[in-house]
Amino acid sequence: MYSKGRDRKTDVAPPDVSPVEESVRLVALDKLSDPALRELLAYWESKRAGREMPAREDIAPTAFPRLMPRMFMIRVGEGPSFTYSLAGNANVEAHGGNFTGMDVRDLDGKSPGYGAFMQRFYTSILTRRRPCAAEGSLGFVDRGFCRFTALYLPLAAADGTVGHIMGAAVYEMHAG
């Protein structure tokens, strides 16, 4: 996420930093404040059962009915490519569109740099093979009234590679 210093004279990000990167930051997993996200992380850890990560088959998103509207699932393909296979209603509302079936790189059409940033972000999860969390604002998709905290959990394919990334986001809507 954005980690370079701001230009103190103009208080804007350097030109190589997109509005997406400017609006998001990583959060330490032990600093997650939302109880439902902490519960989901504990569930992932329990299903891991000593392995690097649980398999997709080990996970039942329906085990979290109150989180279902906020959950999302990303299928990992060759290249790598990342395709949204599930987007709960709260995600659709917060982002202003349903991304189900969409390749993450196509998000650049929603906001320049959004797809490229998410491609790099999901690739980092693929490489690290560990959960991560992020928080920020959706101002870059004209949703500046909306703040979020999200948890991203890698899930293993049959061959041990990351086959899916499951996540959930909690949104705070503010009057605009």
* Domain annotation covers residue 6: no
Predicted pLDDT at 78: 94
Cα–Cα dist 143/154, whole Å: 27
* Domain annotation covers residue 119: yes
What residues contact residue 102 under an 8 Å CB cut-off, 6+ apart? 83, 84
Say if CB 156 and CB 51 are below 8 A apart: yes
**In total, how many domains does the chain have?**
1
Say if CB 31 and CB 7 are below 8 A apart: no
Cα–Cα dist 13/22, whole Å: 7
* Domain annotation covers residue 154: yes
pLDDT band at 8 (very low <50, low <70, confident <90, very high): very low
Closest CA to 22 of 7, 3, 35: 3
Predicted pLDDT at 15: 39
Give me the count of residues in the chain: 176
* Domain annotation covers residue 165: yes
Which domain CATH number covers 85? 3.30.450.20
More confident residue, 108 or 127: 127
Domain boundaries, position 106: 19-49+66-173
Three-state DSSP class for residue 171 = strand
The pTM is what?
Answer: 0.83
